[in-house]
Amino acid sequence: MTQPAVVLLSGGMDSAVSLAEAKSAGFAPHALSFDYGQRHREELDAARRVARAIGAVQHVVIELNLRAFGGSALTADIDVPKDRIEHGGDTHAIPVTYVPARNTIFLSVALGFAETLNACDLFIGVNAIDYSGYPDCRPEFIAAFERMANLATKMGVEGRHITLHAPLAAMGKAAIVRRGMELGVDFGDTLTCYDPIMTREGREGRAAACGHCDACILRAQGFREAGVRDPAR
């Protein structure tokens, strides 16, 4: 019987490749997304497209209002920085788009979901090479959360080891693009932007990337270095 796994799916390129990695590894992936009050909630439409295209067993969207305490340009009325990377901004400082403890919160919910599925495997699409400097994307965080998961759950206490997979952790954006192509990911389904613009496509609205936030610039660099045309709007 195929083993279930819970995969965090934002709708961006990294989480899409992470979902494809879980499927390629032989897991039955259950995709989990969050409607957390993010200004770029159009990413949830992308997550639905990705989950359907890659073949998730199910796609669960949890409402979790992090806008209630804000603290980030993604969850409060704070401008999203534009062209910060290309104009020589301090890329070592944690940017205002960091959402306090977001991955810790999301992974904790994913861990509870995994226990209900009797799943010992969780996937997250973080990487610590071409990224915005978020502390909860580092390998040290992934290792620490995995240790905690095995202490805090019935499965872990009973000796069923829980593994937190971060298959993209040591990959740059160009390598992620290439791996996604190998796995058949349609990057046109994804949305990697903190401040998307709504466009019209037939009778349905469709979000387009702003092209100037950190996420857009890092994505563009990755496709350029990979020598692949980015199909995103």
Which two three-digit tokens encode residue 63?
């409402």
CA distance 215 to 131: 8
Looking at residue 202, its pLDDT comes to: 42
Walk along the chain (233 residues) in steps of 10 and give the mean pLDDT of each run.
95 97 98 96 95 98 96 95 68 85 97 98 90 87 97 96 96 96 97 84 68 94 96 86
CA distance 211 to 233: 9
Q: Report the SS3 class of residue 34.
A: strand
Looking at residue 92, its pLDDT comes to: 63
Check if the beta carbon of residue 228 is closer than 8 Å to that of residue 181.
Answer: yes
CA distance 210 to 78: 16
Looking at residue 201, its pLDDT comes to: 53
Q: How many residues does the chain have?
A: 233
Q: Is the pTM of this model over 0.85?
A: yes
Looking at residue 205, its pLDDT comes to: 58
Strand ranges inside 156-203, DSSP E:
163-165, 197-201
Q: Please, what are the domains in the chain?
A: 4-226 (3.40.50.620)
